[in-house]
Amino acid sequence: MVKLETSKIEKLRLFFEEDTIPSDFTEKFSSFSSLEGIHNNLYKIGYKLHNNFKSRLSNGMLIGEGGNDTISAEDYCELLNEWLNQKKKHYINEGSNCEESAQLWEKHIEELWEPIRTYVGDNVLCNRDTTTYICSASPDLKTALSVGFALLGTCLISFFFLYKFSPLGPWINNNIKKKKRITKNIFSEESSGSFERSSKNGEITIGYHFVEDS
């Protein structure tokens, strides 16, 4: 896309956000009638997309070959894709269920691009350049993780208070000290036994050499 003046881009974005329901929208795209009142955000994005395709052909101040404020069809298509991708991101992010929102978007918005383009007579082939939105985790998984971390935190805090302010703390400390003493005694006994065995082996070796020398 040729670098456009900021004023032109901003002016076009204002046109993209015009909120006027076209009279022929629900008649030609009947599937959208059921969205009104249920998925109002999708419904608005759908008829705005319809208007924005039509604006490319009807608005001579911004699109065309003549005049100082013209925007080429290629630039218009790129900005339209950018606008729709932003709408997609906001719609999926703001939804309570990422997977469900993504499916609704694909069904009602992405599949609307081609029929609208055909209907308005798009003769420059304004192709869809969509962005892929990946849901990082399902709502059920997020809920399970949240509950799991909450329970873990509660257990750790409870254990801390039990350790500090109940007989459990001294009992644990006494057991640890007892195990340390037992381990130390076992190590000392093993060391003493090893030393005695080494001493006896040394005596035998000395006696053996003495007999040989005599």
Of 49, 47, 56, nearest to 26 by C-alpha is 47
Q: Quote the CA–CA distance of 125 and 16 in Å, as a whole number.
A: 19
Cβ atoms of residues 85 and 132 within 8 Å: no
pTM of the model: 0.59
pLDDT digits over 130-152, tens only?
Answer: 988 888 755 565 576 677 777 77
Partners of 71 in beta bridges:
63
Average pLDDT estimate for 148-167 = 70
pLDDT digits over 4-54, tens only?
Answer: 566 777 888 888 998 888 887 777 777 777 788 788 899 999 999 988 888
Q: Which residue has the higher pLDDT, 6 or 87?
A: 87
